[in-house]
Amino acid sequence: MMNERELLEWYLTAGVEFFCGDVPGCLKSVAPAAETPSAGEAAKQPRPAMTDLAQMSMRACKNARDISASAATLSELRQAVESFEGCALKMTAGKTVFGGGNPNAKIVIVGEAPGADEDRIGEPFVGRSGHLLDKMLAAVGLNRDKVYITNVLPWRPPGNRTPTDAEVAVCLPFLRRQIELIEPRIILILGGSAANSLLDNEESISRLRGKWLEYKFADDKKADALASFHPAYLLRNPAQKGKAWADFLRLAKKLQNN
Ligand code: URA
């Protein structure tokens, strides 16, 4: 069974841009005017497949894809994201948090979404999770000048709730385009939500972490992707830090060979 994000993506890939009732791509303006059905007839009619909200999400996804594809540089993409109005999270967020760090880095680090500190300051991973991430990077000889850090979502979900499939679907083109423009060799994904969004699967982070996977960002370009625990999770569950440390050692080893 497809989730909402997969359904939206599937329709977009198939070239569908709007819905009329349950018929993808049927123009409302050319559809014959329907007579008001009787209660019995109405019960037999198929339920509309998509709500108005889903249609809006789909238009927003297409818009996000189009403006991402036409951004030729990270700074053009940043401007496009900052002026994008297709994600309701922007209304409750304080600042747009685009990626930061070295745009020529071999490593891109991907988190889930800005938290309260990031939302206030406008930079990714600057709160408690960010401080732990900095320490873990330093332990393997890395720092923010050597990596590019970003998130699946550029806006903070209210109360740090997990983003919905529709929010992820709308914002994913921005992340994908950042990766295309940077062309990293390695992608480190922090946390299950970010890993599921970017790798398009539903595996738990416990099963995903620690394994080298492939992330393809163009027909002939791919990066090695490694998922690990989110620093916020490690702050709540310090006993898991050993596993995260093993992941960072894997990362350092891969970097040496790249
Ligand atoms: N958590 C994230 O996933 N990203 C941030 O930028 C901060 C906290």
Residue ranges of domains in the chain: 51-257
Cβ count within 10 A of residue 71: 20
**Alpha carbon of 63 to ligand 1 centroid (Å):** 25
Quick one: pLDDT at residue 133?
98
pLDDT beneath 70: ranges in the chain = 1-50
- Centre of ligand 1 to C-alpha 235, Å, is 13
Single pTM value for the model: 0.83
- Asked if 251 contacts 186 with a C-beta cutoff of 8 angstroms, the reply is yes
Alpha carbons 159 and 171: distance in angstroms, whole number? 18
Per-residue pLDDT, 53: 75
Q: Is the CB of 197 under 6 A from ligand 1?
A: no
Contact 82, 99 (CB under 8 A): no
125 within ligand 1 shell (Cβ under 6 A): yes
Integer-rounded Cα radius of gyration of the chain: 20
The per-residue pLDDT for 32 is 38
Cβ 228 under 6 angstroms from ligand 1: no
Answer whether 228's CB lies under 8 Å from 209's CB.
yes
* Cβ atoms 216, 179 nearer than 8 A: no
What is the 11 CA–ligand 1 centroid distance (Å)? 30
For domain 51-257, the CATH architecture is 3-Layer(aba) Sandwich (3.40)
Question: What confidence score (pLDDT) does residue 215 get?
Answer: 98
197 sits in which H/E element: helix 192-199
- pLDDT on residue 248: 98
Cα of 2 vs centre of ligand 1, distance in Å, is 27
Is the CB of residue 115 below 6 angstroms from any atom belonging to ligand 1?
A: yes
Q: Which of 89, 121, 123, 129 to mutate to test the pocket of ligand 1 (most atoms within 8 A of CB)?
A: 129
Residues in the chain: 258
